[in-house]
A = this chain, B = another copy of it.
């Protein structure tokens, strides 16, 4: 592979000058610049990223830490963040925890030696900050930007970019109550998911607006399970137990479709007997029948905010500690 040295010789300059032209840092004569660029062009020179990283102290990689990339929302986030990072010359490394949260600690520990430019935490799990805190600080001190892109961790000094989960869930409850769809049940991970908690909080808030409080028998915490099957089982059990509810706010579209299947398999109709609202506004929710009413999340906006943070450089201090991205209820057939 051709190196700076080859380019320098070809252009009749020093390696320092080549580097300066390519960095665009210090001033260089227009003609020197042109000669260097021509040499780069002719030799097809590509700067060695490993050498550059070593010398400058860190690389261009940003790790996205997900809990479960197979969930539609995280796949969308990965896509949008990758596109955004690529546009500013950064690479996305994917770390899927698969709900084994202990691996996060290990990754954060290694982040500086890997030369990571940043770490984006998007696992919804409730973070054990007592354990994670020290290693986050060490990474930050070493120049790794650690951001939270799912839950608000600004109290722990982590810049956060989060959806308005409370507002989204409250809007769903408001919509359902407006159509006289009470009692409203809730399905989500509450004990183990910070996002689930926020959505439950929105559910509670929405009910409070109607002068109601959550009925504990209609709050279904599926912290032991995940995705559609959890929604299916918990809803099936509720029906078998004879609980009365006219609608369900599910903390994800996956949970919602599982719950709808349970209702259908129980011989009830959607939305006639039970109405549903999900979270994520995933594509398949638009095409299942009945189509799924859902709180839309704006992963592109998250990605843009992430990009801003990495572009900000030293004046990043001006950015807010916690940025909240609005959510929007999209009404379809299920509610």
* Chain A residues near B (Cβ < 8 Å): 1, 46-51, 53-54, 58-59, 61, 64, 68-70, 72, 74-76, 78-79, 82-83, 86, 91-96, 98, 109-110, 112-115, 142, 227-229, 231-232, 254, 257-258, 260-261, 264-265, 283-284, 286-289, 291
Instruction: Tell me if A70 and B72 are in contact (CB < 8 A).
Output: yes
Closest CB-CB distance, A196 to chain B, in whole Å? Answer: 19
- Please name the residue on chain B nearest to A283 by beta carbon: B228
Beyond A61-B93, A265-B289, list 5 extra A-B contacts (CB 8 Å): A48-B113, A49-B114, A69-B79, A70-B79, A92-B93
In-complex Cβ contact of A257 among B70, B254, B288 (8 A) = B288
Given contacts A51-B54, A75-B75, A261-B288, contact A98 B69 (CB under 8 A): no
Chain B residue, CB-CB nearest to A270: B289
B69 near A75 with CB under 8 A, answer: yes
Q: Residues of B contacting A284 with CB < 8 Å? A: 228, 254, 257, 284, 288
Please, which residue of chain B has its CB at the minimum distance from the CB of A2?
A: B113
Q: How far is the CA of A53 from the CA of B64 in the complex (A)?
A: 22
Instruction: Note all chain B residues with C-beta closer than 8 A to A79.
Output: 68-70, 96, 98
Residues of chain B within 8 A of A228, CB atoms compared: 283-284, 286-287
A143 to B110, CA, bound (A): 25
Taking the nearest CB of chain B, how far is it from the CB of A116, in angstroms?
9
CB <8 Å contact, A50 and B46? no
Would A96 and B78 be within 8 Å (CB), given that A50-B54, A288-B284 are in contact?
A: yes
* Complex-state Cα separation, A94 to B260, whole angstroms: 34
Contact B82 A95, beta carbon cutoff 8 Å: yes
Can you name the residue of chain B whose Cβ is closest to the Cβ of A86? Answer: B95
- CB-CB under 8 A from A69, the residues of chain B are 75, 78-79, 82
CA gap between A50 and B48 in the complex, in Å: 11
Contact B82 A112 (CB under 8 A): no
For A64, the closest partner residue in chain B by CB is: B94
The answer to whether B70 and A94 have CB atoms under 8 Å apart is: no
Q: Which residue of B lies closest to A53 (CB)?
A: B50
A48 to B115, CA, bound (A): 8
Contacts A/B (CB < 8 Å), 8 sampled: A49-B115, A51-B54, A61-B91, A82-B94, A93-B93, A232-B287, A254-B284, A257-B287
Residues of chain B contacted by A113 (CB below 8 angstroms): 1, 46-49
A260 touches B287 (CB 8 A): yes
- Residues in B with CB closer than 8 Å to A74 are 75
CA of A85 to CA of B292, assembled, Å: 36
Minimum CB–CB distance from A230 to chain B (whole Å) comes to 11
A227–B112 CB distance below 8 A: no
Would you give the shortest CB distance from A260 to chain B, in whole angstroms?
A: 7
Query: Taking CB as reference atom, which chain B residue is nearest A76?
Result: B70
Whole-angstrom distance between the Cβ of A117 and the nearest chain B Cβ:
12
Contact in complex: A258, B287 (CB < 8 Å): yes
Q: Contacts of A265 on B, CB cut-off 8 Å?
A: 289
**In the bound complex, how far is the Cα of B44 from the Cα of A113, in angstroms?**
12
Q: Name A50's contact: one of B50, B109, B283 (CB within 8 Å).
A: B50
